[in-house]
């Protein structure tokens, strides 16, 4: 089975490509390398023994996507490609709406014209907005607090409408919580350009001394230590969820929606303390005001994925911290 992976040299995409190869699938990657590096292909080959076919293309250019579908026999698509930083989306909403929506619409149009009907969508827990209660179930009301989340929710709505109109289209919407960690080899992991927007890459940069200290945004939330609580999930567990979703679409076609999380919430300071304990390094931090678009608390109820997909998170917070640090040291040569 040949699977087109958009954003396949990115953080979650590259780990999913590894999982696909190890499970006997044939992945083809399309990526514009805005948030990733071409060297990731060599690292995937080192891990798996196979170098996936790669197209450096932008989904914004529909002719480029058409060319890929005419050249390759594609059976399914896993769609990761998107701009993904919550804070940046608040500062640059137009860039997020144009990139994420137009790219996704182009991809879906080309899929339809080429009769490719298996689609796994990389959504996000941000579509739940600021939930009234936790843990979060898939049938909770949907809303957003930032443009990034709005693009994910809009694409979900598009997919729901498409599935109503086309009974041949099979879609799995996967709502991630907070992906962290790296491959056990230390060869692939999260490598954002410039100053990281996400918490764990920022912590690892502080650990190496590249950044002086961690800014903890928001200390007055209604949580046990005042800092925001999130459900952190290991990227290897997340990659495994995509394979389970592909398998499920074969036996239960239609529209499926799942949370992918651990079901446990950790505060920012909980994560900092876990990182320090597991890796034996000190993470200096400074307390700062809340960021626009952030919420106090978000963690999953992932029982639906467990019962229907046979999937559950295997790795805990210590694994996430240890693997993130191994990757950062490998990458920076420390």
| 173-202 residue pLDDT tens | 999 999 999 999 999 999 887 778 789 999
| 283-320 residue pLDDT tens | 999 999 998 778 899 999 999 999 999 999 999 999 99
Question: Does a structural domain hold residue 76?
Answer: yes
147 and 201 Cβ atoms separated by less than 8 Å: no
DSSP state letters, 226-240: SS-EE-EEEHHHHHH
Q: What is the mean pLDDT of the chain?
A: 96
Question: Does a structural domain hold residue 280?
Answer: no
Q: Is 232 a catalytic residue?
A: no
User: Could you tell me which residues come within 8 angstroms of residue 100 by beta carbon, excluding any fewer than 6 positions away?
Assistant: 82, 83, 148, 151, 152, 155
Question: Does a structural domain hold residue 219?
Answer: no
Question: Does a structural domain hold residue 258?
Answer: yes
Question: Does a structural domain hold residue 214?
Answer: no
Is residue 32 scored above 80 in pLDDT?
Answer: yes
- What's this model's pTM, rounded to 2 decimal places? 0.96
Q: How far, in Å, CA of 101 to CA of 106, rounded? A: 9
pLDDT-based confidence at residue 333 (cuts at 50, 70, 90): low
Annotated catalytic residue within 25, 96, 148, 176: 148
Question: Does a structural domain hold residue 138?
Answer: yes
206 and 214 Cβ atoms separated by less than 8 Å: yes
Question: Does a structural domain hold residue 162?
Answer: yes
| Total domain count, the chain | 1
* Mean pLDDT within 86-105: 95
Domain ranges, residue 174: 2-181+232-262+299-314
Is residue 162 scored above 60 in pLDDT?
Answer: yes
Question: Does a structural domain hold residue 11?
Answer: yes
Tell me which residue has tokens 């079901």.
263
For 7, which DSSP code? T
Query: Which domain CATH number covers 123?
Result: 3.40.50.720
pLDDT at 41: 98
pLDDT-based confidence at residue 334 (cuts at 50, 70, 90): low
């Amino acid at each position: 089975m040949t699977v087109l992976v958009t954003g396949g040299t990115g953080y979650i995409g590259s780990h999913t490509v590894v999982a696909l190869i190890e499970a006997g699938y044939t992945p083809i990657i399309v990526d514009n390398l805005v948030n990733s590096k071409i060297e990731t292909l060599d690292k995937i080959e080192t891990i798996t023994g196979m170098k996936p076919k790669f197209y450096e293309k932008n989904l914004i250019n529909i002719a480029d996507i058409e060319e890929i579908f005419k050249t390759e026999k594609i059976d399914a698509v896993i769609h990761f490609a998107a701009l993904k930083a919550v804070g940046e989306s608040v500062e640059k909403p137009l860039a997020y709406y144009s990139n994420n929506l137009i790219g996704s619409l182009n991809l879906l149009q080309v899929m339809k014209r080429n009769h490719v009907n298996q689609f796994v969508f990389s959504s996000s827990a941000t579509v739940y907005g600021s939930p009234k209660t936790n843990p979060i179930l898939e049938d909770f009301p949907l809303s957003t607090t930032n443009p990034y989340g709005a693009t994910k929710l809009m694409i979900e709505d598009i997919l729901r409408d498409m599935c109503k109109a086309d009974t041949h289209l099979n879609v799995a919407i996967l709502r991630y919580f907070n992906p962290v960690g790296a491959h056990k080899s230390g060869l692939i992991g999260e490598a954002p350009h410039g100053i990281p927007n996400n918490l764990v890459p920022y912590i690892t940069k502080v650990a190496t001394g590249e950044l002086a200290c961690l800014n903890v945004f928001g200390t007055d939330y209604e949580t046990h230590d005042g800092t925001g609580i999130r459900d952190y999930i290991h990227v290897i567990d997340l990659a495994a969820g995509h394979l389970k979703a592909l398998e499920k679409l074969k036996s239960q076609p239609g529209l499926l929606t799942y949370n992918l999380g651990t079901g446990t919430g950790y505060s920012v300071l909980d994560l900092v303390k876990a990182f320090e304990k597991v890796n034996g390094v000190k993470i200096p931090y400074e307390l700062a005001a809340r960021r626009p678009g952030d919420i106090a608390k978000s963690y999953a109820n992932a029982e639906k994925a467990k019962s229907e997909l046979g999937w559950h998170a295997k790795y805990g917070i210590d694994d996430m911290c240890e693997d993130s640090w191994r990757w950062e040291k490998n990458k920076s040569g420390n």
